């Protein structure tokens, strides 16, 4: 459902994403991992059509993101990093606005709004303006807008950021549930989350894929049997720590 071929992106001559190729099918939840500055958010923004690539191609459900952007974007639900939204809107008015943008009307709109309110457990904050919400409820409100049109593809950038442990548990259950019928890419720094919700993962560093496999395979490849240690091994974190120890 998502097909990326030889994708690259440069900013002012600096290569942020370097010849990346990747596919994600229906029923897959892909963990997209990497240290800060590795190119994760840049890649996700290119998949969603937010920024254009310098080279390479992206297709979503068979639609080229550059050649047929409207058709591709209709298939995508996107939760960006930091959950941007209209702060002076109430939660309910924001969700209705999101439904309008997605072309929903009448009973279809009403049912879509009711569905995401229930999914994201927003019943108690519907009349609050977004600027009065806790970080966790803002995150859930912005997740709800990404689901309003029941997309086939979900791009989730740090979806549990700001959530408390109970909310994280609920969010992970929701992602697992949706992952049975959708193609999902989830970017996260919480490696336990990869084990909890992802059936495959990719690690990138300096814009390139440095590891790919299941969470169980990552643990098997690690010297210690831990995903976080394997992450450090393949992204250079272990070498950096060793160098600091030598200096000390």
pLDDT of residue 76: 97
pLDDT of residue 192: 85
**What 3-state DSSP class applies to 99?**
helix
C-alpha span between 130 and 89 (Å, rounded): 6
pLDDT at 110 over 70: yes
CB 37 within 8 A of CB 45: no
Matching residue, tokens 């029941």: 150
Domain 2-75+153-247 coded CATH 3.30.300.30 = no
CB 33 within 8 A of CB 41: no
> 102-113 in b/e burial notation, b at 16+ Cβ within 10 A?
bebeeeebeebb
| C-beta neighbour count of 131 within 10 angstroms | 11
Tokens of 38: 């590795």
pLDDT of residue 238: 52
C-alpha span between 206 and 14 (Å, rounded): 11
CB 57 within 8 A of CB 72: no
| C-beta neighbour count of 153 within 10 angstroms | 22
pLDDT of residue 190: 82
pLDDT of residue 168: 87
Lowest mean pLDDT of 13-22, 81-90, 125-134, 178-187, name the range: 81-90
pLDDT of residue 6: 97
Orientation of helix 165-178 relative to helix 135-147, angle to 10° = 10
CB 60 within 8 A of CB 1: yes
- Compute the mean pLDDT over every residue in the chain, rounded to the nearest whole number: 90
pLDDT of residue 163: 82
- For residue range 167-221, what is the model confidence (pLDDT) as tens digits? 888 889 889 989 989 999 999 888 888 988 999 999 999 999 999 999 999 999 9
Which of 79, 59, 56, 54 shows the shortest CA–CA distance to 71? 59
Predicted confidence band of residue 240 (pLDDT cuts 50, 70, 90) = very low
Predicted confidence band of residue 248 (pLDDT cuts 50, 70, 90) = very low
Tokens of 197: 């919700």
C-alpha span between 137 and 109 (Å, rounded): 22
How is the beta sheet containing 29-33 ordered, strand by strand? 76-79, 153-157, 183-187, 29-33, 200-205, 208-213
Orientation of helix 91-101 relative to helix 135-147, angle to 10° = 30
pTM beyond 0.85, yes or no: yes
- For residue range 8-67, what is the model confidence (pLDDT) as tens digits? 999 998 999 999 999 999 999 999 999 988 999 999 999 999 999 999 999 999 999 999
Domain residue spans in the chain? Answer: 2-75+153-247, 85-150
| C-beta neighbour count of 224 within 10 angstroms | 10
**What 3-state DSSP class applies to 39?**
coil
């Amino acid at each position: 459902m998502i097909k990326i071929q030889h994708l690259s992106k440069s900013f002012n001559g600096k290569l942020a994403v370097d010849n990346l190729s990747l596919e994600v099918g229906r029923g897959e939840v892909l963990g997209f991992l990497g240290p800060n500055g590795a190119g994760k958010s840049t890649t996700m923004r290119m998949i969603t059509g937010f920024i254009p690539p310098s080279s390479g191609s992206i297709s979503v459900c068979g639609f080229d993101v550059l050649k047929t952007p409207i058709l591709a974007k209709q298939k995508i639900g996107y939760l960006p990093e930091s959950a941007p939204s209209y702060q002076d809107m109430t939660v309910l008015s924001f969700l209705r606005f999101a439904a309008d943008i997605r072309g929903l009307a009448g009973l279809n709109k009403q049912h879509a709004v009711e569905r995401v309110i229930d999914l994201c457990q927003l019943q108690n904050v519907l009349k609050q303006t977004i600027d009065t919400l806790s970080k966790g409820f803002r995150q859930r409100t912005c997740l709800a807008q990404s689901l309003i049109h029941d997309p086939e593809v979900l791009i989730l950038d740090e979806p549990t950021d700001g959530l408390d442990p109970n909310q994280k548990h609920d969010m992970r259950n929701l992602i697992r549930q949706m992952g049975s019928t959708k193609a999902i890419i989830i970017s996260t720094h919480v490696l336990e989350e990869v084990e909890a919700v992802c059936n495959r993962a990719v690690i990138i560093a300096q814009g390139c894929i440095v590891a790919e496999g299941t969470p169980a395979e990552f643990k098997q490849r690690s010297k210690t049997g831990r995903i976080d240690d394997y992450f450090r091994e393949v992204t250079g974190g272990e070498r950096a720590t060793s160098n600091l120890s030598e200096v000390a």
